[in-house]
Amino acid sequence: METIIKTIKVSDKGQIALPVDVRESANINIGDSLILIQKGKRIMIEKTEMIESKVKDDFKDLLKLSELSLKDLWDNEYDKIWNIYLKKK
C-alpha cells in the first residue's frame, strides 16, 4: 500500500479538492458518498461503501439478539397483538 502525501488548500467556502491521483488510487468517482470522521485534530475521509463493508458483519446478530431478548415479552398470553403481528410474517 502506497502512502501519498499532498498539500491542499481550503477555499473561502471551506471546500477542499481531492487531487486526481488520490481520487484514482482510492477509486473515488463523481457522485460517490464520502464519510468524514474527526477525532481531535485528526480527520479521516473514507468512501461510504468501505465503512459499510467494514461494519456489515459487526451488526449481523443484532436483530436475532433483539428478537431473542424480547421473546418472553412477545410470548405473553396477555399481549395478543404481538402474536398477531408475528403470524403475519
Does residue 76 lie within any of the structural domains? Answer: yes
Does residue 5 lie within any of the structural domains? Answer: no
Does residue 42 lie within any of the structural domains? Answer: no
Where does 1-79 have alpha helices with state H? 20-25, 48-55, 62-74
Does residue 78 lie within any of the structural domains? Answer: yes
Give the number of other Cβ atoms within 10 Å of residue 35's Cβ: 13
Write out the residue range of the structural domain in which residue 70 sits: 59-88
Please give the tally of structural domains in the chain.
1
Cα within 13 Å of Cα(57), Cβ side: 2
pTM across the whole model: 0.54
What is the C-alpha separation between 22 and 4, in angstroms, rounded?
Answer: 7
Does residue 73 lie within any of the structural domains? Answer: yes
Does residue 74 lie within any of the structural domains? Answer: yes
Does residue 40 lie within any of the structural domains? Answer: no
**First-last CA distance in the chain:** 47
| Local confidence pLDDT in tens for the 89 residues of the chain | 778 889 999 999 999 999 999 999 899 999 999 989 899 999 989 888 877 777 777 766 666 666 666 666 656 666 666 667 777 65
